[in-house]
Amino acid sequence: MVTVCLANHKGGTGKTSICINMGAYFAKKKTKTLIIDMDPQGHVAPGLGIEVGYDDRSIADVLSNQEDITTIIAHSHIKGLDVAPSNIRLSLVNETLYNSFKRERRLRKAMDKIYKDKTYDIVIIDCPPSLGPLVENTLMVVDYCIIPCEPSSRSIDGLADFILKLKDVREGELDSKWNIVMSRVKKSARLTNEVIDEKLSEYKNRIFKTKIYERESINQAQMAGIPVFDFPRGQLASENFTKFGKEVASRCQIK
């Protein structure tokens, strides 16, 4: 089993939409896939047509040691794609974790049964836009980290901070196992894209060749509760995510 996270402490980089569509890509390739939502905003489940209320069981209950992770997992309409959902109660759990002993190991402990049972081929984790305990928990369990980066100065300026966090949490274990994907890229903004490429030149060997282009069909599909692969007007986005999925499989050694 390979565990991959989508993480960046900057918001608006497209983490959730990449998670949903990456998960759908692998599931459609008959790779048993679980998406764990570690973001209190809880957008993954609704993005796959699964409604989660305030009182419904979620990853918040798992991290507060009230539920086994296997009891909260929901099946999506896509065969082979499951979700461990989140909701706003996770923000309350996040606050309590700050002063908890071994706070960064809650998710690792919770996932022991999944590792043991070998239920899934890949686990994809969607992170909140922060550098707090929820991200620390995620970075403690992943084999690979993908950092979505929006082509803007703000996003790039914050990249170094997140990379430092990566190195700090795992004490260098992930040094060779993180990559950057340029997301929400506008094809028409050619000059901006060239400037951004130049600014990121020191990371050029870590940047996915496939860029995730900004398309309205991605947002529309997410609002409809389906991945772009099942969206009537999602052909271009589907081709984009298929290309990205293939590159992820290669870089992260997913069979």
Residues 6+ apart with CB under 8 A from 137: 38, 63, 97, 103, 104, 105, 106, 107, 108
Give me the domains of the chain, ranges plus CATH numbers.
2-251 (3.40.50.300)
Burial class (CB in 10 A: 0-12, 13-18, 19+), 21: buried
Note down pLDDT in tens along the chain; length 255 residues. Answer: 999 999 998 888 899 999 999 999 999 999 999 999 999 999 999 999 999 999 999 999 999 988 999 999 999 999 999 999 999 999 999 888 887 767 778 999 999 989 888 899 999 999 999 989 999 999 999 999 999 998 887 778 778 888 888 888 877 788 889 999 999 998 888 777 788 888 888 888 999 999 999 999 999 999 999 999 999 999 999 999 999 999 999 999 887
Q: What 3-state DSSP class applies to 180?
A: strand
Specify the DSSP class assigned to residue 128: P
